[in-house]
Structure 1
């Protein structure tokens, strides 16, 4: 009788634990797939870019997807960083290279949507290596703005089978020029002994200020 009771208790515990184990296994498998997808897309190199390098990379990627650059002037002043065309359709794009934990807000959606009449575009996108806030997603859906978050961008890169690699852009394209906040000198991209890139002051060794390329 006692053995039977213990057996039944064991079965009940197993039934209770099984859903938790299944859920944990599912989440673990999904996380591994996501990490593999991001790695294949070179997201670790995109995360180390500054905003200018990210724009250059996106333009190169879209060209491999048969988009053509549309010549514009001062696009940063009118809500779009990149203007591209394909199949007679014109697209205005805002590129947001953020730290992973910093989510892209509703402002980006408002700005790129407002760029459409100025550039006479048919579509508008916001592309980021990060994620979007709930309000940004909600407004984008209402306005028809396409959002490419970290995982959607990785999908786009992997599907395209692009020959251009994020690492190549990161290593060859100079970051946007910055001033040293300490001495007002010019910050230049440099490489440490370990091979890591950073921004260092042109007045070194008088000024030792450094900062990451991706702020």
Structure 2
């Protein structure tokens, strides 16, 4: 049975199905645009927060929120006697100890000692240091040499620029 295309389209446009389909397409487009707008707004809010942090506690809370937004289960350790870990991360079976440092100068090798010690205490195979500052060349070299040797399989160093890239969505942990 042959149906002439013009007749078919004219009948289809006059039906209520046509209007339902067009309405659904419009709703989907609006939803996508809204999602993209919120994502962009979220990034700009987080970047402003990063620039306005004034103390170590605020920075720790900020890092915790970013990690939660990335899908990690975040456990904050107690404030004192935390053995060098400020945050414990879990994603699946992966456990990571994180040292959060709000610092004015470049970080030295002591941060790596704290991460290594806390990884033993908390049973983590990976460690990370997240800072609002930068790392000295010695720390970067030492972290590369220590990774995969001994207890820790991986040591991640996230400085101010890398953290900014994570917040902007240009980089994953």
Task: Specify the TM-score bucket, using the shorter chain as the normaliser.
Answer: 0.5 to 0.7
Aligned in 2, Cα 1:121/1:75: closer, same or farther, shift over 3 Å? farther
Shift of 1:69: 2.0
Unaligned runs of 5+ in 2: 1-42, 148-154
- Give per-residue Cα distances to partners, 1:60-95, cap 9 Å, x unaligned: 110111111236445653011111111210111011
Q: Aligned pair 1:88/2:93, yes or no?
A: yes
Matches within 5 A, 1:37-186: 42=47, 45-46=50-51, 48-70=53-75, 72-73=77-78, 76-99=81-104, 102-144=105-147, 145-159=155-169
- Distance in 2 of aligned mates of 1:142 and 1:96: 21
CA contact (8 A) 1:125 1:147 kept: yes
Q: How many residues align?
A: 121
TM-score, structure 1 length as denominator?
0.51
Runs of 4+ in 1 over 6 A off after TM superposition: none
Counterpart secondary structure, 1:115: helix
Q: Which has the higher contact order (CA 8 A, sep 6+)?
A: 1
CA RMSD of superposed structures (Å): 2.5
**Which protein has the larger Cα radius of gyration, Structure 1 or Structure 2?**
2
**Would you tell me which structure has more helix in proportion to its own residues?**
2
